[in-house]
Amino acid sequence: MPLTDKFGRPITDLRISITDRCNYKCVYCRTGNEGALYGDLPFDDYLRMARVLVGMGVTKIRLTGGEPLLRNGVVNFVRNLAQLRTPNNGHRGRDEYPLDIALTTNGHLLADLAQPLKDAGLTRVTVSMDAVDPDRFARITRVPNGYDHVLAGIRAARRAGLWPLKVNCVLMRGFNEDQIIPFGMFAREEGVTVRFIEFMPLEEGRTWSPTTVVTLDEILERMAEYRPLVEIPHARSETARRYRFDDGVGEIGIIAPVSHPFCGHCSRIRITSDGKIRTCLFSVWDHDLHAQMQRGASDEELEDFIHGVIQKKEERHHIGEPDFVPASRTMVHIGG
């Protein structure tokens, strides 16, 4: 049977954070401190968790962090994940097909790793980039000279055939809302899909307020001043609304969890770098899968544990509502 939560949502999408260290200190994410709070696990432990979950119906795994490319051995880990086969429709052993393995990275170390990752079995990559102007980029990431590395990483990923190639930009008022049109031009020139993400209250500095969010409507309005957009139909489980420019050149997406929540179609769970399952970005607790492994649980016992956890998946987030309770971890320590 496919893994389904109590609201009937199939759980097919797993995100694994392989470290909560990051070499960038983006203003909308981190306070500027150096550290990892929770540490990470040996790759074999993540591999076992992935194998069990794939056997239960997960068809897509995204590696994230912190910054996942900081972790030595990531290429080998992808190679091992690529050996896992997903059973079709829950019928184990029949019509197996390969996993979709994706990566979210800030791109700083991607130029040298794109081809080895592709050769190891990575399917596609999403690069986070919050400005197309190098000085603004440095101000947001708080790292000098990162822009050239990231651009080289994006181009290397394209050459390696890591496709579709997406560039994610978190918009935060006062920092980069003037980058909307330049990113539209960037999408057309570089042949990548640029996706704007609404800023969510998951930052270490607790600076979020509704007024800091640049909303989907505002992004569309601004981009239309540059060129008309045409909406592309998208799958219900897709987080992004998709648009192409009227002349067919260039695609953008908008991920709008604040102004247009998509919790009703959420198919995701996350494993943190220290081996906890999180059923929602905004969960106020996590579920210690790694502790189960440490106490010697069999694969069947892990499946039972996971089934129980999935039934606790939250119906929706409560961003902006009076009863909103901040998540128990910030984004860098969850894995976005």
The residues that touch ligand SAM, with contacts defined as CB under 6 A, are 22, 28-29, 64-65, 67, 104-106, 128, 168, 170, 197, 199-200, 202-203, 331-332, 336
| Rounded distance between C-alpha atoms, residue 70 and residue 18, angstroms | 9
Minimum distance from residue 95 beta carbon to ligand SAM (Å): 33
Minimum distance from residue 218 beta carbon to ligand SAM (Å): 16
Q: Assign residue 330 a region: left if phi > 0, alpha if psi is -120 to 50, beta otherwise? A: beta
Amino acid at 264: G
Minimum distance from residue 271 beta carbon to ligand SAM (Å): 14
**Nearest 5°: phi and psi at 311?**
-70, -15
Amino acid at 195: R
Minimum distance from residue 34 beta carbon to ligand SAM (Å): 15
Minimum distance from residue 126 beta carbon to ligand SAM (Å): 7
| C-alpha distances out from residue 93 to 2, 84, 88, 97, 100, Å | 14, 12, 8, 10, 18
Pick the closer one to ligand SAM by CB: 75 or 170: 170
Pick the closer one to ligand SAM by CB: 104 or 239: 104
Pick the closer one to ligand SAM by CB: 5 or 108: 108
Pick the closer one to ligand SAM by CB: 99 or 200: 200
Residues in CB range of 239: below 8 A, 6 or more apart? 255, 257, 262
The secondary structure of 270-333, three-state, reads EECCCCEEECCCCCCCCEEHHHHHHCCCCHHHHHHHHHHHHCCCCCCCCCCCCCCCCCCCCHHH
The residue number whose beta carbon is nearest to ligand SAM equals 336
Minimum distance from residue 198 beta carbon to ligand SAM (Å): 7
Pick the closer one to ligand SAM by CB: 170 or 187: 170
Pick the closer one to ligand SAM by CB: 3 or 254: 254
